[in-house]
Structure 1
């Protein structure tokens, strides 16, 4: 682990990304039930998504809402402390939770950023557009020199 901040102190962390068919917003406690329903109904699909091949998440056995809430609170704390940034993917139109984007430092390669994302199985058509939009956003808005984000 490095003592360097993940993003510079003077960098304003984006609170949203609006794109065709979806919107990103910081993941928080308010998403618990919708987030839980989104991923628990798509475990096999998410595990088959590029970037989730290690088989550790999502847990095959699922988890209860309390454990999911603890996980969301951890991600929200990381966001506020600028240690990592997790965004809920919301459908547009509407606001159903349809996925998630994780932006964290790569702890094996100092200075590099590791990004992963998933969408619900029933919204699989959003996977490639989400990847394209997030990739462009990272390249134009964020201060990262090196990003690893499994291609689609």
Structure 2
């Protein structure tokens, strides 16, 4: 992070808000001409500060009315079983994220479903049958207060 100057941070902050911003507008926003701005942007991408660009889709418009945060506990903490669990989780599209965590749960998942019936079927048929799973606890999101926050840039 020490390699980033004020202009680099301005570019990163601006792109977090609008990743599709044309280079001309980005340059104007951060106070550079297009060529130096494009060079800085390319360097930030090459150095890994920008991992990727993506569109944020509306889960509701796509028919996913349920968003659940799921705590998963595993009885056996065997590396090969954990690897199998993680591979299978990564192959399930409706699991948006999976984090191996410390605490009472082993993993926290973010899952989408069309409705509660769909979520119940998913829990019964897929989630509870994943390798090593012994307990599952769900917290259903009622509404998003803050979502996909921007990373702070010191």
Q: With structure 1 as the length reference, what TM-score do the two structures score? A: 0.30
Q: With structure 2 as the length reference, what TM-score do the two structures score? A: 0.30
Max radius of gyration: which structure? Answer: 2
Q: Larger strand proportion, structure 1 or 2?
A: 1
